[in-house]
Amino acid sequence: MDCLFCKIAAGEIPSDKVYEDEYVYAFNDIEPAAPVHVLVIPKKHLQSVSHIEDADAEIIGNIFLAIKKIAAKLGIDKDGYRVVTNIGENAGQTVPHLHFHVLGKRSLQWPPG
């Protein structure tokens, strides 16, 4: 499949890896929007939240368990952080492979733009 994040998860395109397990790959965003900006993705190609099926529940659960571990490892769990996923055009999703942005180490505004 010609997908940037599938290739990153497979190690075919280099990335700055932060975490990996059976289901999940995480790496630093190439254009960080905060001092900590990690992208957490499933190894399986899923386009977005709108494309998740019942059978993907284990993968999605493991993504959030990975996010918790990554937040502790990077020291953002105490002060707080944000998890964001963009879905489709109105949200500005630019890479059509499900990804969760983990943003931290600065105060984050709400609501987002």
Q: Which residues make up the interface to ligand AMP (CB under 6 A)?
A: 4, 15, 29-31, 39, 86, 92-95
Task: Find out whether 40 and 63 touch, Cβ atoms under 8 Å.
Answer: yes
Binder of residue 100, out of ligand AMP, Zn ion, none (CB less than 5 to 8 A by kind): none
Task: State phi, psi for 52 to the nearest 5 degrees.
Answer: -75, 140
- Which of these is catalytic: 51, 97, 99, 101? 99
> What's the helix, strand, coil split of the chain in %, to 5?
30, 20, 50
Q: Which is nearer to ligand AMP, 22 or 89 (CB)?
A: 89
Q: Which of residues 30-89 bind Zn ion (CB under 5 A)?
A: 45
Q: Which is nearer to ligand AMP, 8 or 76 (CB)?
A: 8
Half-sphere exposure of 12 (CA within 13 A, CB side): 9
